[in-house]
A = this chain, B = another copy of it.
Amino acid sequence: MSAAGHSHDHAHDHAHGHSCKAEPAAILARAEELCRERAVQFTALRREVLDAVVASEKPPGAYDIAERLSRPGRRVAPVSVYRALDFLMELGLVHRIASRNAFVPCAHAHGASENVVFLICRTCGGIDETTSPEVESGLGKTLKRAGFTPAHSILEVEGDCGACRDKARRA
């Protein structure tokens, strides 16, 4: 599914109907812009961690990223990765998948709503991100009914993505 990176990057080569992942270049550009706006540093390490999250086939864990960035002569410790990830999450460029201890690049440029649904394919392991006004409004009603004031929420659905279902049917 969309977690698989496009090795070539013309702007829109996907014809599938579901939500799609932003191009790596676009994410990079957004990161630089955000950092300029907020006057924070977009350092080499932070860029590399973001790159790693974007480029991974499947959403990586922090230790996967650390390993990926390490090479003979340069070791990147997990703690450094965690710090970079915290930074990137603060900016909304990366999301954490609580049910998997994994990280995904933010597929939308949603400066606003911050209310997303993660679709986790149990076959291919890919994670897609989408929004849902219906869920958002329904949840609002429910929370009001319960007398609960939300700060933020996570919604993660595990199942089978369209691509894997098709693949299974053909087999």
| Residues of A participating in the B interface, judged by any CB pair closer than 8 Å | 17-19, 98-99, 117, 119, 121-122, 128, 130, 132, 134-139, 141-143, 145-162, 165
Cβ distance A160 to chain B, nearest Cβ, rounded Å = 5
Q: Quote the shortest CB–CB distance from A122 to chain B (angstroms).
A: 7
B138 and A119 contact, CB distance less than 8 A: no
Most chain B CB atoms below 10 A, which of A130, A145, A149, A151: A149
Max chain B C-beta neighbours (<10 A), residue from A121, A146, A151, A156: A146
Is there an interface contact between A156 and B158, defined as CB atoms closer than 8 Å?
Answer: no
Complex alpha-carbon distance, A144 and B135, angstroms: 13
Do most interface residues of chain A lie in helix, strand or loop, or is the interface mixed? mixed
Chain B residues whose CB sits within 8 angstroms of the CB of A151 once the complex forms: 122, 158-160
- Write the chain B residue with the least CB distance to A97: B98
Q: Could you tell me the distance between the alpha carbons of A160 and B134 in the complex, rounded to whole angstroms?
A: 23
Q: How far is the CB of A170 from chain B (nearest CB, A)?
A: 16
Task: List chain B residues, Cβ under 8 A from A132.
Answer: 138-139, 141-142
Residues of B within 8 A of A19 (CB): 146
> Provided the pairs A146-B18, A156-B154 are in contact, do residues A117 and B99 lie with their beta carbons within 8 angstroms?
no
Of chain B, the residue at the smallest CB distance from A139 is B135
Find the B residue at minimum CB distance from A143: B157
In the complex, which residue of chain B has the Cβ closest to the Cβ of A148?
A: B119
Q: A69 vs B44: C-alpha distance in the bound complex, in angstroms?
A: 48
Establish whether residues A149 and B160, one from each chain, have CB atoms under 8 Å apart when the complex forms.
Answer: yes
Q: 8 shortest A-B CB distances, which residue pairs?
A: A134-B138, A147-B162, A132-B142, A153-B157, A150-B159, A98-B98, A135-B138, A138-B138
